[in-house]
Amino acid sequence: MPDLDKIVSLAKRRGFIFPSFEIYGGSAGFFDYGPHGLTLKNNVKQIWWKQFVSGREDVYGIDSVIVTKKEVFEASGHARGFADMLTECEKCQRRFRVDHLADTKKCPECGGKLGEARQFYMMLETHIGAAEDEASLAYLRPETAQGIFTNFKNIVDSFHPSLPFGIAQIGKAFRNEIAPRDFLFRLREIEQMEVEYFIKPGDWKESFEMWRKEMQKFIASLGIDTNKIFELEIEEADRAHYSKRTIDFEFDFPFGKKELYGLAYRTDYDLSAHEKASGADLRYTDPESGDKFIPHVIEPSLGIDRTILAILCSAYVEDELGKEKRVFLKLKPQIAPVKVAVFPLVSNKENIVSKARELYKNLKEKISGVAWDDNGNIGKRYRRQDEIGTPWCVTIDYQTLEDKTVTVRDRDTGEQIRKKEKELEKYFSDKLS
């Protein structure tokens, strides 16, 4: 099991993830993505979008706003129900989520007496317009799902889809977590990838199983260690207020087995609630029978930040190569931020550097994720590329000038082979397809 501190440190050192506003002391539950983290995240989002949206015929993508009128969350039940029980230590004043405590009377940090448990509402508030009063109160959405429900009628009116069909989006969500912790695991600003899949009520079991399989496929396609994935049936008492059935996909993180994703049967809870509160007709008309009814919903909900954490935990490897200890990220080439790094063997020989530059430029036009590296000696460059998970390094040397071949070094084995310059594009494209 990799040590979380080592992953956090590599992520910062190599430009994946930085604590937000660190020069001002940081703030718990907020992290920024650096250049490599952003590329990794974008690669994950693209794979998700292709599998869950653009690769299908029955899912429509949208991008709805983050700042949301309070009426939406009053109707959805979040304004009353999106809360955790909180308790505070009377001695050290630390705050804890009651459901995270083994002993609800004694402070786990200082042993002091814990106060009465009270509800803590987790939505972040803001105001729309100049007045900061109750009427202008708005929320930063705690899930992307509600922006989908409030657009249900628009999609039906514009596209006239037949059931079953889905509406999907990727976007930010905000939760004022009582105890943010464990790096990217419990954040206050997150990104989610969600589908609300609208169905006839009688079809829910079949659709639930279909999305369960899609989620399994997605997890495997990212190279997340499937031996560390566990599907957990959530008891009624622990399910969200809108759910009739939930499965959590848990991952065995260094700090324990915890929720990675959720798959829920949300029934007609949300659309019915929005119909009642808004007065809009949110029923679907069956084209054959003419029957009007509120569709039910299956929701695969995936957090991107936890995905990145599970990927880093799965990919982090410490081994020995050529009798030297090394650390590397065994990322799937498809998601690696850099796929191919191009090096000149030496950086002070004009003919080698210009040949390497030419080859780099050509490859970069054809393949996305090609980087240039001429910093330090070859050994240091390999170490650096290993740490960011670059699957292949190409070195241009004296022999290249004579016979137009280069060395290609494999990240996982350290093996080097000579390849013809003109075969490189196909060689890498085949491996990445």
Q: Which is nearer to ligand GAP, 8 or 260 (CB)?
A: 260
Binds ligand GAP by CB under 6 A, chosen from 8, 60, 114, 194:
194
How near is the Cβ of 85 to ligand GAP at its closest, in Å? 16
Indicate whether 186 belongs to the interface with ligand GAP (CB under 6 A).
Answer: yes
DSSP 324-369: EEEEEE---TTT-S-SEEEEES-SS-HHHHHHHHHHHHHHHHHSSS
Please report, in angstroms and rounded to a whole number, the separation of the first and last CA atoms in the chain: 30
How near is the Cβ of 83 to ligand GAP at its closest, in Å? 13
Binds ligand GAP by CB under 6 A, chosen from 59, 145, 156, 178:
145
Tell me how far apart the alpha carbons of residues 247 and 260 are, in angstroms, rounded to a whole number: 11
Q: Say if CB 19 and CB 26 are below 8 A apart.
A: yes
Indicate whether 305 belongs to the interface with ligand GAP (CB under 6 A).
Answer: yes
Indicate whether 407 belongs to the interface with ligand GAP (CB under 6 A).
Answer: no
What does residue 266 show for φ and ψ, rounded to 5 degrees? Answer: -90, 5
Pick the closest to residue 313 from 267, 260, 252, 238 (CA basis): 252
Indicate whether 143 belongs to the interface with ligand GAP (CB under 6 A).
Answer: yes
In the chain, what's the furthest Cα-to-Cα distance? 79
Indicate whether 225 belongs to the interface with ligand GAP (CB under 6 A).
Answer: no
Indicate whether 177 belongs to the interface with ligand GAP (CB under 6 A).
Answer: yes
Per-residue contact string for residues 249-288; x = within reach of ligand GAP by CB under 6 A? ----------xxxx--------------------------
Indicate whether 306 belongs to the interface with ligand GAP (CB under 6 A).
Answer: yes
Q: Which is nearer to ligand GAP, 312 or 363 (CB)?
A: 312
Q: Which is nearer to ligand GAP, 182 or 203 (CB)?
A: 182
Indicate whether 44 belongs to the interface with ligand GAP (CB under 6 A).
Answer: no
Tell me how far apart the alpha carbons of residues 78 and 96 are, in angstroms, rounded to a whole number: 21
Q: Which is nearer to ligand GAP, 48 or 261 (CB)?
A: 261
Q: Which is nearer to ligand GAP, 260 or 406 (CB)?
A: 260
Joined tokens for residue 369: 């994720």
How near is the Cβ of 121 to ligand GAP at its closest, in Å? 15
- Determine if residue 29 is left, alpha or beta; phi over 0 gives left, psi from -120 to 50 gives alpha, anything else beta: left
Indicate whether 187 belongs to the interface with ligand GAP (CB under 6 A).
Answer: yes
Name residues whose C-beta falls within 8 Å of residue 98's C-beta, 6 or more positions apart in sequence. Answer: 84, 85, 86, 87, 104, 117
Tell me how far apart the alpha carbons of residues 222 and 295 are, in angstroms, rounded to a whole number: 32
How near is the Cβ of 168 to ligand GAP at its closest, in Å? 12
Tell me how far apart the alpha carbons of residues 137 and 129 are, in angstroms, rounded to a whole number: 9
SS3 302: strand
Whose tokens are 């190409």? That residue is 394
By CB under 6 A, name the binding residues for ligand GAP. Answer: 143, 145, 175, 177, 186-187, 190, 192, 194, 259-262, 299, 301-303, 305-306
